[in-house]
Structure formats: C-alpha cells, structure tokens
C-alpha cells in the first residue's frame, strides 16, 4: 500500500533539525532534492525542533535557528506552491500524541539497535536521555501522521526509515490499514557527503574541526579556504575511487552535484593538472550553487512578519492533516473519544 487514493499526487515529507546552520551535506543529501520534488508532489517540510531538544540546545539559539530554518525553506521556494506546507514540528502537538502511541508498538530491542542512538550516546555520554532513545519513534510519527509516500533523506537516515516502515506494518497488521508505509528517497549522488578534513566520516554540524564542514551561510572566501585545505592524497591525480581516494572522490562528488558533470568528464578536465586547480574549481562550483539561495535567504530574513505568518499558516494546514491520522489511530487502539 503506497497511497490511499490513486488520483491524488504522491505525498513527500521530510524534516531537518535546527541544531545549527545546515551543512552542505544537509543541502546536497536532502534539501536540494526537496526543492526539486516540491514542483510536482504535494509536500510537507518541517523543522524538527522537538528532536533538537535531545542534545539540550541553548534556548535562545534554538528559537533563532528554528525561525532561520523556516526562512531557508522559503528561500528554497519549498512553500511556493499553495499545496505545499512548511511547518515547525512543535507547532503541531499531535506529533507527540502519535509518537506515544507508536512507542507502545516499538520494541525496546529494535530501538536499541539504532546506530545513531549508539553514536549519539557515545558522543553525549553526559546526557544519554530517554528522548535520544525514542527519537526514531517521534520521527516515525512525523512521517506516518501525514500518510507520506516518499521521504527524501540522506543515507544516514535509512535505518530510521526502516524502523518506521516496520512499526507502520506492525500497526496495520494488528488494526487494519491505518498508515501509508513510506518509501525512503535517497539520491544516487551525494547521499553521504563526507567531512573535508576526515573524509571517512560524514560531514556534520557538530564536527569539532570547523574546516571539515561547509555551512550554507559561509561566505565565498570561507568556502574557498575550506576547499583549499581539504584532505586529499599524495597521488596528485583526480580520479574517482571512493575506497582508496576518499578525499578526492568526495570533492569530485561535490563538483558533480553542483555542475551536473559526470565523473569521467571531471577526470578528463583535470588530467595532468594538480589538486590546486581542482580544489579551486570545486570551491567555485559550490559558491555558484549557493549564491541564489544565499541572496534569497538574506531577503526573507528581513521580513519577520512574513516568517511569522508562514509559521502560523503552515501549522494550521499541517494540524488539519495530522489530526485526521491521529484520531484514526486513537480510535483503532481503543482510546475513548467521549
Ligand atoms: P538531520 O537534521 O541530521 O539532517 C537533515 C537531512 O540531511 C541529511 N544529511 C546528509 N546528507 C548527506 N550527507 C551528509 N553529510 C548529511 N548530513 C545530514 C540527513 O540524512 C537528513 O535527511 N532525524 C532527522 C530529522 C527528522 C526527519 C523526520 C527526517 C525528524 N523527523 C521525518 C525525515 C522524516 C535528522 O536528524 O536529520
């Protein structure tokens, strides 16, 4: 079962945490695909502020980054079509109700197997809270509450999507068709952008080495500097080989994503040239890719009233859809609607 009504457009949904300025990894692995899908699907894109609480962010920073993330959605044109919805997760409290119900249909063992839980528990050893553990069931609620068909995410969210599908199938098996079982949508290229300094690790907002991560608000100068200092190898040959040449292959992926060139084309263009030219070309391609987005973001951020109105409108539209599924699930499990 992928859709309730074959006449309807397929529904696409994804969320992102407002834990800092998004990275080039977030953009290439997820947000850019969202912008492409927003033209011909009914979409919901959300700011996962409740998920962000699992790492106890500074309250003022969380508020600011949540609003800025919504501005980024608008700058990407995600809400240009009236059918598409952008919203802040905590503005739709039904996510928490459904999340609690799903907690009761998720086994402790399956939640314990989540790689991201293990990694985050290790990196935040002083704050291994229960929210970190139940994080994937809140994510499942985010998806199932809107009966989403496709969830465009980067490679690192694959396991959470699998858990979501299992919980949906289990619930449907027990109570009859209730949730659409969603499909992950993972782009072929750029689904795992690696750190520029440690190319064996994914590019991340929380990388302790700031030179490893390009942020979407970095200036052209900062982008050039970070690309120039990217770790490569001593071979001085631009060749795609992710197993042996992780750094160069990552930079080639970024160049291919930003220019649409194939790896063969890139290899031919840089045959016999050193890494200096190559790194500069990568930086210039990233700067050009981000330029229109950054200009539009600066404009949207000026308009506070528009942003507040966007958040209110998004919450109202999302809530209407969310309540429909939540009430259905509540009824199925036997909660009394007096
Ligand atoms: P988050 O905020 O960590 O990341 C947002 C999106 O960016 C992708 N991503 C990457 N893609 C390629 N290379 C990288 N280096 C890279 N880093 C991050 C992520 O895969 C993600 O698609 N749990 C989610 C947020 C969430 C969600 C949801 C997503 C909450 N509810 C419902 C989908 C559906 C998260 O923390 O993403």
Report the chain (338 residues): mean pLDDT per 10 consecutive residues: 58 97 98 95 98 96 98 97 97 98 98 95 93 97 98 97 98 98 96 97 92 98 98 95 97 98 97 95 98 98 97 98 98 91
pLDDT in tens, 143-165: 999 999 999 999 999 999 999 99
Same domain, 283 and 312: no
| CA dist., res. 268 & res. 251, Å (int) | 15
Q: Is 327 helix (H, G, I), strand (E, B) or coil?
A: helix
| CA dist., res. 182 & res. 138, Å (int) | 15
Same domain, 118 and 243: no
Same domain, 268 and 312: no
Q: Which domain holds residue 250?
A: 210-299
Active site residue 120: yes
User: Which pLDDT score, from 0 to 100, does residue 9 have?
Assistant: 83
Mutate to test the pocket of ligand 1, among 156, 184, 198, 216 (most ligand atoms within 8 A of CB): 156
CATH code of the domain containing 224: 1.10.240.10
Asked whether residue 199 is assigned to any structural domain, the reply reads no
Residue 48 structure tokens = 């996962």
Atom of ligand 1 nearest to the CA of 205: 17
Asked whether residue 6 is assigned to any structural domain, the reply reads no
Asked whether residue 4 is assigned to any structural domain, the reply reads no
Asked whether residue 250 is assigned to any structural domain, the reply reads yes
Structural domain total, the chain = 2
Point out the catalytic residue in the list 158, 205, 228, 313: 205
Mutate to test the pocket of ligand 1, among 12, 27, 30, 44 (most ligand atoms within 8 A of CB): 30
Instruction: Give the list of residues 6+ apart from residue 206 with CB closer than 8 angstroms, or none.
Output: 19, 20, 123
Same domain, 56 and 170: yes
Same domain, 154 and 172: yes
Same domain, 108 and 220: no
Same domain, 156 and 267: no
Same domain, 93 and 177: yes
| CA dist., res. 46 & res. 186, Å (int) | 18
Q: Is 98 in the pocket of ligand 1 (CB under 6 A)?
A: no
CATH code of the domain containing 80: 3.40.50.620
Q: Is 250 helix (H, G, I), strand (E, B) or coil?
A: helix
Same domain, 89 and 160: yes
Same domain, 290 and 312: no
| Phi, psi angle pair for 308, to nearest 5° | -65, -40
Distance from the alpha carbon of residue 30 to the mean position of ligand 1, in angstroms = 7
Q: Give the count of beta carbons closer than 10 Å to the beta carbon of residue 315.
A: 20
Q: Is 32 in the pocket of ligand 1 (CB under 6 A)?
A: no
pLDDT in tens, 184-214: 999 999 999 999 999 999 999 988 899 999 9
């Amino acid at each position: 079962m992928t859709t309730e009504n074959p006449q309807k457009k397929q529904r696409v949904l994804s969320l992102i945490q407002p834990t800092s300025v998004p990275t080039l990894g977030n953009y290439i692995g997820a947000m850019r695909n969202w912008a492409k899908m927003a033209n011909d699907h009914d979409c919901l894109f959300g700011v996962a502020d409740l998920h962000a609480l699992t790492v106890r962010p500074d309250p003022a920073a969380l508020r600011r980054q949540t609003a800025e993330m919504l501005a980024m959605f608008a700058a990407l044109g995600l809400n240009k079509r009236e059918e598409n919805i952008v919203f802040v997760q905590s503005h739709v409290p039904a996510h928490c109700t459904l999340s609690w119900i799903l907690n009761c249909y998720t086994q402790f063992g399956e939640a314990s197997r989540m790689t991201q839980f293990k990694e985050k528990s290790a990196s935040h050893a002083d704050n291994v809270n229960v929210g970190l553990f139940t994080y994937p069931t809140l994510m499942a609620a985010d998806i199932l509450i809107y009966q989403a068909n496709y969830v465009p995410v980067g490679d690192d969210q694959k396991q959470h999507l699998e858990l979501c599908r299992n919980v949906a199938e289990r619930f449907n098996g027990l109570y009859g068709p209730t949730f659409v079982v969603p499909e992950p949508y993972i782009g072929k290229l750029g689904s795992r952008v690696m750190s520029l300094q440690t190319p064996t690790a994914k590019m991340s907002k929380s990388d302790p080495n700031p030179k490893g991560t390009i942020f979407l608000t970095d200036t052209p100068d900062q982008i050039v500097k970070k690309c120039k200092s990217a770790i490569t190898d001593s071979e001085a040959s631009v060749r795609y080989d992710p197993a042996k040449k992780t750094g160069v292959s990552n930079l080639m992926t970024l160049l291919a994503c930003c220019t649409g060139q194939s790896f063969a084309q890139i290899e031919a263009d840089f045959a016999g040239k050193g890494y200096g030219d190559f790194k500069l070309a990568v930086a210039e391609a990233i700067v050009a890719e981000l330029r229109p987005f950054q200009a539009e973001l600066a404009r949207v951020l000026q308009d506070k009233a528009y942003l507040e109105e966007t958040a209110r409108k998004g919450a109202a539209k999302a809530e209407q859809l969310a309540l429909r599924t939540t009430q259905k699930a509540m009824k199925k499990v036997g909660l009394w609607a007096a």
